[in-house]
């Protein structure tokens, strides 16, 4: 087998709609994509199963799942079962915010990139629909990129890491339109905070509503499998 | 029991000499110390056992161990058994460098600090003896502190994180003298890269040599349990 001549990228892949689109964008830009998923104590495993399907369907060069038990830290509705996921968004930063999550995930992606000899990291954060999350803002992404140079042997030896957040200024509808053009099968992705084991969505949580509204606005039929 | 009125700090604790000293310094400055150790696939568990003993002996308010399998990423003599730990330091960054390790560890410390309501993180990095590690330099620590403000709800809401690296400019002898004054029992700590299950040191690896030279220079008797 001949060596893959494409530059490598590490792509954070949750199994949701956004990160699937980020993976399709990275692949479309010609990177050999090394997808990284974290099993961090999410409420369900449907998301990780979705990540596996998405990585395969978009031709990822590799898909790695790392286990990191963030329930030991807690502090979020996603990592502490005593905190309920609300149906309605409230004011301020949502209870689904996981403390320092993107910093933890990007630092693992950075570690893997350094081992692979990759200079490009992709993360599907979005500052529009989820503007409440501090670690989804452009200034955060830029700060992490600067840190990457100082944090690593590769950076010190003169390489230059790029942290790509291609969805950061897109609306949900624009994300869906972009991914659809790039061949993302959104039926494979799971966004619902309380999907069942088969990955079927509840249809009424905050995340389901945003997703459904995105398909409606994009003028693309919603392929999400719903429970009822 | 009355509530602990002291400000909280999260202290990264490996079980080695440096992080034990950092914990003693944090406690000496009046913090209620929440010690955090990572089980990341180190070659031996003696280090974690040492961390438990050190946390107890220095009166940590709490000691948490989080499992994160960095052998899935590899790239270091400490996380990939196919890479040997050398007895002699070579040129440049050592093979014991673990890609992005301090960024991963500090991001977990940051997450826990946010959940605890702590504003202070302590890390026992040192730029003198281990100047080859990029993530042990002052400019790296400052960059992580800036990132902390942008990365978290707490930072966005106006709080200010401080990342303390009190050993960063100290020689090994100064670290040992400081810790000894603060009551650190260095017999409890493990520095050796190939300690046995009981925590006894080999006496000849790079880390053992640095440690022994530090005690000699400090004029303090070396309490390290050696295998032979």
Q: Which residue has the higher pLDDT, B17 or B42?
A: B17
Whether A100 and B107 lie within 8 Å, measured CB to CB: yes
Option in A72, A101, A134 nearest B156 (CB): A134
| Cα B12 to Cα A33: distance, rounded to the nearest angstrom | 33
pLDDT in tens, A97-122: 778 899 999 999 999 999 999 999 99
Residues of chain B with Cβ-Cβ distance to A135 below 8 Å are 150-152
Q: Which residue has the higher pLDDT, B52 or B83?
A: B52
Cβ B124 vs Cβ B89: under 8 Å: no
Query: What is residue B19's predicted lDDT score, i.e. its pLDDT?
Result: 97
Q: Catalogue the long-range contacts made by B156-163 (C-beta closer than 8 Å, 24 or more residues apart).
A: B156/A93, B156/A134, B159/B119, B160/B119, B161/B110, B161/B113, B161/B119, B161/B120, B161/B121, B162/B119, B162/B120, B162/B121, B163/B106, B163/B121, B163/B123
- Domain assignment present for residue A207? The answer is no
Written as six digits, the tokens of B191 are 């520095």
Query: What is residue B87's predicted lDDT score, i.e. its pLDDT?
Result: 60
Mean pLDDT confidence for B93-99: 73
- Domain assignment present for residue B1? The answer is no
Whether A156 and B93 lie within 8 Å, measured CB to CB: yes
Query: What is residue A53's predicted lDDT score, i.e. its pLDDT?
Result: 96
Written as six digits, the tokens of A190 are 């799971």
Q: Does A35 touch chain B (CB under 8 A)?
A: no
Option in A66, A67, A111 nearest B100 (CB): A111
Whether residue A82 is predicted with pLDDT greater than 80 in this model: the reply is: no
Please report, for the domain that includes residue B108, its CATH number: 3.40.50.620
pTM of the shown model = 0.91
Beta-carbon-side half-sphere exposure of residue A25 (alpha carbons within 13 Å): 25
SS3 A177: helix
- Domain assignment present for residue A219? The answer is no
User: Chains A, B: CB contacts under 8 A, how many?
Assistant: 134
Whether A68 and B68 lie within 8 Å, measured CB to CB: yes
Band (B154; pLDDT cuts 50, 70, 90): confident
- Domain assignment present for residue A17? The answer is yes
Query: What is residue A139's predicted lDDT score, i.e. its pLDDT?
Result: 93
Whether residue A152 is predicted with pLDDT greater than 70 in this model: the reply is: yes
Per the structure, the complete domain to which residue B140 belongs is given by 8-218
Written as six digits, the tokens of B125 are 């990095």
Cβ B226 vs Cβ B200: under 8 Å: yes
Whether residue A130 is predicted with pLDDT greater than 60 in this model: the reply is: no
Q: Does B144 touch chain A (CB under 8 A)?
A: yes
Shortest Cα–Cα distance, A115 to chain B (Å): 5
- Domain assignment present for residue A138? The answer is yes
Mean pLDDT confidence for A68-86: 74
A167, A208, A164, A162: which is closest to A189 by C-alpha? A208
Mean pLDDT confidence for B151-171: 92
CA A187 to each of CA A27, A56, B143, B157, B215: distance values in angstroms, whole numbers, following the listed order: 19, 14, 40, 37, 63
Residues of chain A with Cβ-Cβ distance to B64 below 8 Å are 72
| Cα B83 to Cα B95: distance, rounded to the nearest angstrom | 8
A101, A132, A80: which is closest to A38 by C-alpha? A101
Shortest Cα–Cα distance, A75 to chain B (Å): 5
| Closest-CA residue of chain A to B132 | A153
Cβ A127 vs Cβ A169: under 8 Å: yes
DSSP B42-53: -S-SHHHHHHHH
Structural domains in chain A (count): 1
Written as six digits, the tokens of B224 are 């390290």
Band (B157; pLDDT cuts 50, 70, 90): confident
Whether residue B88 is predicted with pLDDT greater than 90 in this model: the reply is: no
Query: What is residue A105's predicted lDDT score, i.e. its pLDDT?
Result: 95
Whether A151 and B134 lie within 8 Å, measured CB to CB: yes
Residues of chain B with Cβ-Cβ distance to A97 below 8 Å are 153
A224, A165, A68, A89: which is closest to B39 by C-alpha? A68
Please list the helix, strand and coil fractions of chain B in percent, rounded to the nearest 5, in that order: 40, 10, 50
B124, B164, B130: which is closest to B22 by C-alpha? B124
Whether A104 and B104 lie within 8 Å, measured CB to CB: yes
Written as six digits, the tokens of B168 are 């960063």
Burial class (CB in 10 A: 0-12, 13-18, 19+), B171: middle
Residues of chain A with Cβ-Cβ distance to B74 below 8 Å are 115
Option in A69, A115, A153 nearest B67 (CB): A69
Query: What is residue A87's predicted lDDT score, i.e. its pLDDT?
Result: 60
Option in B101, B143, B151 nearest A100 (CB): B151
pLDDT in tens, A155-165: 888 889 999 99
Task: For chain A, state the CA radius of gyration.
Answer: 17
Whether residue B129 is predicted with pLDDT greater than 70 in this model: the reply is: no
- Domain assignment present for residue A54? The answer is yes
Q: What is the ipTM of this complex?
A: 0.89
A98, A122, A120: which is closest to B151 by C-alpha? A98
Q: Which residue has the higher pLDDT, B97 or A189?
A: A189
- Domain assignment present for residue B94? The answer is yes
- Domain assignment present for residue B228? The answer is no
Please list the helix, strand and coil fractions of chain A in percent, rounded to the nearest 5, in that order: 40, 10, 50
């Amino acid at each position: 087998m001949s060596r893959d001549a494409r530059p490598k990228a590490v792509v954070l892949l949750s199994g949701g709609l956004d990160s699937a689109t980020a993976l399709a964008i990275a692949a479309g830009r010609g990177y050999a994509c090394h997808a990284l998923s974290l099993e961090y104590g999410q409420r369900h495993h449907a998301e990780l199963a979705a990540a596996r399907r998405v990585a395969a369907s978009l031709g990822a060069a590799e898909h790695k799942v790392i286990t990191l038990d963030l329930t030991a830290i807690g502090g979020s509705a996603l990592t502490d079962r005593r905190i309920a996921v609300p149906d309605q968004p409230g004011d301020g930063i949502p209870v689904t915010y996981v403390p320092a999550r993107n910093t933890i995930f990007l630092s693992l992606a950075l570690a893997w990139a350094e081992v692979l000899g990759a200079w490009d990291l992709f993360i599907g954060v979005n500052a529009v629909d989820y503007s409440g999350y501090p670690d989804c803002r452009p200034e955060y992404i830029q700060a992490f990129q600067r840190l990457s140079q100082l944090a690593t042997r590769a950076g010190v030896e003169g390489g230059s890491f790029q942290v790509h957040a291609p969805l950061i200024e897109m609306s949900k509808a624009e994300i869906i339109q972009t991914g659809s053009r790039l061949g993302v099968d959104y039926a494979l992705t799971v966004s619902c905070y309380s999907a069942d084991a088969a990955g079927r969505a509840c249809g009424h949580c905050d995340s389901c509503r945003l997703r459904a509204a995105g398909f409606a606005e994009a003028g693309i039929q919603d392929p999400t499998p719903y429970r009822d």
